[in-house]
Structure 1
Amino acid sequence: MSNQQQILFPVDSSKIDPLLSHHVAAVGASQADYRDAIDRLIHNLINIRDDEGKFLLRLADGRVLDTKSWNGWEWTQGVGLYGVYKVWEMTGDQKAWDIMTSWFEARFKEGTPSRNINTVAPFLTLAYLYERTGNRTYLPYLDAWGEWVYSGLPRTEEGGFQHIVYNSVNHQQLWDDTLMMSVMPLAKIGLLLNRPHYVEEAKRQFMVHIKYLADRKTGLWFHGWTFEGRHNFANALWARGNSWVTIVIPEFIELLDLPKDDALRLFLIETLEAQVKALAKCQTASGLWRTILDDETSYEEAAASAGFAYGILKAVRKGYLPKEYEALGVSAAKAVRAKINDAGELTQVSFGTPVFNSIQEYKDIPLTSMPFGQAMALLTMGEFMYRFI
């Protein structure tokens, strides 16, 4: 080789072999920008308020529940905590750690709420915190709530977790939300406390929910199923419900460290790929998805889109899905980034949504900032950051 200094000339990017291109050359994004978005999302998350009381949940027994502000105890804050934990896991950010631990300290002083599918959600993060710290004060909560999910939570026919919530027992109903809110915490607690029967129960719940909620025609998921009348309500292919599935399948496979030839792992991956193939067909030109995936008259919804982006990108990174799906996740993540405003709020997020009997009711759900929206955006921004590593 000549000792003469090498001179690099610009080359048509289409002629560069992918193996030779820089790994972030095609991302079209800045690491600093995404890190800044994460910081602003967290700030907004812990400062969300419902000053007008418009979104308060008023129960028949007189209790008033705040599902919007950070200092409540519901699935919305539970998912928020998990989003913050994932940021801490990647960055080691002390502020993120303090936010989580101070939340639990304050809520435990107030007293835990009544038990239902949704109030279990924070225990997924608590289990990770206990694993990291060995803080004995966390153990009784994990023990009591884990045992309630396993043996006390109402069941449907065939042993499914009935989606009981604060204001409705939802008799004999399965919802796709349940996999995130209660099944993932049960699996993590089972591994943590050496209770393999919890883990086996979590596996069974995935299979029961797939059996009754996955739409064989499209690969997408219905929001709910009832054994009373045996139907899927409005047959709604609701985006956020589908996004919980896209999130939890890669999370569950990773959590259980299922071997490559494990039958459940293969079944879950096949289920996920069928869904993602269908999602590719109904993604809008903006990179987002509509709140009813197959209804072009429904609005685009950013929280669900964030969930899809996260699950797709993680599944590709972990080798669960082929590399060909990465572009789908990247375009969605960039569309979600565009919906984070200067205040750190993920805009275009729909409020909490029950199972409805008509498609129009889903389309009428109002848009507002929510802790789970912030968290799902945090998941997406954090997963996207792997592109810069």
Structure 2
Amino acid sequence: MLNKKLNTLKATTLFISLALLGCKTTAQEPAKIVENQNIVIAKNAKWSDKMALTLMKRHPESYMIDNAKAPKWDYVHALVLHAFEDLYKKNPDPRYAAYVKNYVDILVQEDGSIKTYELEKYNIDLVLPGRLLFNRYKETKDNRYLVAMQTLKKQLEGQPRTTSGGFWHKQIYTNQMWLDGLYMGEPFYAQYTATFENGKNLDDVAKQFEEIQKHATDPKTGLLYHGWDSEKLMPWANKETGNSPNFWSRALGWYAMALVDALDYFPKDHPKQKELVGYLNNVSASLAKFQDQKTGLWYQVTDKAGEKGNYLEGSGSAMFAYAFAKGANKGYLPSKYKKLANKAFDGLTTKLMKIDADGTITITDVCAVAGLGGTPYRDGSYEYYVNEKKKDNDPKATGPFILAALELNR
């Protein structure tokens, strides 16, 4: 009888132990996950808050944006978290500031070194997260943020260039400038030189726009091609111009956003300021011609509406809405562009938006990624762009959506 009781007690203890172990295994996730599951999104909240709270609910730690499994110094996180910084200025919810801070502080070490960042790759995408460091340094005066910014400035100083002075997109993309790279590098470069160098390198910032404007602009449409190979050696490059074959809306979106953001740091009396405002007006006027009249959105391949496989794309449309709205608000663009931005925003919120029962929101029909060259090889053809995978709520749409919502006060 005693043995039977002992066996029962052992079995019960084993069961409780296993149950506890099971609980422990599933409870490894951070406490913030539990908190963020309790996020409430009001029906009458502004679109900027709806999107920010959606992202926090679905990605409880900011490094998890884009479904990342581990912290990574990356441009997509930077794009979204920069939008959070702007949102915090309008709505100082402490959760927004904490979400940005957590990302930066996981990756920037005590000595100012940056986890996962490799300077020697000269990847201009990795300069963009440096924009998040200015506020952290201003608020804390902690030297590690300054050291990290100086490291990224050092990358720009050593960034390989075309013979005429334009930054290569990456070390591995020899003699190539991509429109994407203007957003990745120039707003940080402009803010850094304005903050720490009395603006001494603003001419070099402007030089990057001058190069891509001069070489990648199509005289017929006024649109800019996705990439330019200054040596005309890449199989995708036109043998006369060096340009890639098509206009990709997101690449043009990066370019338009780069202009409105870099201009924040150009004084009105700077000799290059009017030139950059001129570029913004030129590209905006060209883009306006290709805005879909019914929905207010833009197609994945900008100038080929109605062709087989082409679709109204979320990220480029959000980027144009932001650039048009900010450009008009700042006085760089005529006021009509605010109306065009609102029309685009209406398209995003009615044609491409899904709203779940818990109030979370999702932008659909977003191109996940597109590039040129590389392995597997990307040829820049029409078929290539329209067949790239789509991804709901891709960060390249959610970040600009928040920024557009703020500029439009929607």
- Which residue in 2 is equivalent to 1:363? 386
150, 156, 161: which one aligns with 1:155: 161
301, 304, 308: which one aligns with 2:316: 304
- Which residue in 1 is equivalent to 2:115? 111
* 1:311 counterpart letter in structure 2: A
**Where does 1:1-389 land on structure 2 (aligned, <5 Å)?**
35-46=45-56, 68-69=66-67, 71-109=71-109, 111-115=115-119, 116-149=123-156, 151-164=157-170, 169-194=172-197, 196-229=199-232, 231-259=241-269, 262-284=270-292, 285-296=294-305, 297=307, 298-338=310-350, 339-342=352-355, 343-355=360-372, 356-368=379-391, 369-385=393-409
Aligned equivalents of 2:244 and 2:225: distance in 1? 9
* 2:126 counterpart letter in structure 1: T
Aligned residues: 334
CA contact (8 A) 1:234 1:359 kept: no
* 2:153 counterpart letter in structure 1: G
Aligned equivalents of 1:243 and 1:256: distance in 2? 20
CA contact (8 A) 2:353 2:364 kept: yes
Higher relative contact order (CA 8 A, sep 6+): 1
Please give the root-mean-square deviation of Cα atoms over the aligned residues, in Å: 2.4
- Which residue in 2 is equivalent to 1:27? none
DSSP-derived class of the 2:126 partner: helix
CA contact (8 A) 2:169 2:177 kept: yes
DSSP-derived class of the 1:159 partner: coil
* TM-score of the two chains, using structure 1 as the length reference: 0.79
CA contact (8 A) 2:125 2:184 kept: yes
DSSP-derived class of the 1:236 partner: coil
Q: Give % identity.
A: 24
State the shift of 1:113 in Å: 1.6
State the shift of 1:66 in Å: 8.9
Which ranges in structure 1 are unaligned for 5 or more consecutive residues?
Answer: 1-31, 50-64
Aligned equivalents of 2:272 and 2:231: distance in 1? 28
State the shift of 1:263 in Å: 4.1
Could you report, residue by residue, the CA deviation over 1:310-341 in whole angstroms, capped at 9, with x for unpaired residues? 11111111111112222111101222223332
Aligned equivalents of 1:202 and 1:34: distance in 2? 41
Q: Structure 1 pair 139/366, CA: closer, same or farther in 2 (3 Å)?
A: same
* TM-score of the two chains, using structure 2 as the length reference: 0.75
Aligned equivalents of 2:43 and 2:227: distance in 1? 38
State the shift of 1:226 in Å: 0.1
Aligned equivalents of 2:64 and 2:162: distance in 1? 28
DSSP-derived class of the 2:51 partner: helix
Q: Structure 1 pair 192/263, CA: closer, same or farther in 2 (3 Å)?
A: closer
DSSP-derived class of the 2:228 partner: strand
Q: Structure 1 pair 73/141, CA: closer, same or farther in 2 (3 Å)?
A: same
State the shift of 1:257 in Å: 2.7
Q: Structure 1 pair 206/129, CA: closer, same or farther in 2 (3 Å)?
A: farther
Could you report, residue by residue, the CA deviation over 1:78-122 in whole angstroms, capped at 9, with x for unpaired residues? 211211111112222211111111101112258242231111111
Could you report, residue by residue, the CA deviation over 1:213-250 in whole angstroms, capped at 9, with x for unpaired residues? 22222221111000122634443111011111221222
Which ranges in structure 2 are unaligned for 5 or more consecutive residues?
Answer: 1-41, 233-239, 373-378
State the shift of 1:46 in Å: 4.4
DSSP-derived class of the 2:66 partner: coil
* 1:140 counterpart letter in structure 2: V
Q: Structure 1 pair 222/40, CA: closer, same or farther in 2 (3 Å)?
A: same
CA contact (8 A) 1:222 1:238 kept: yes
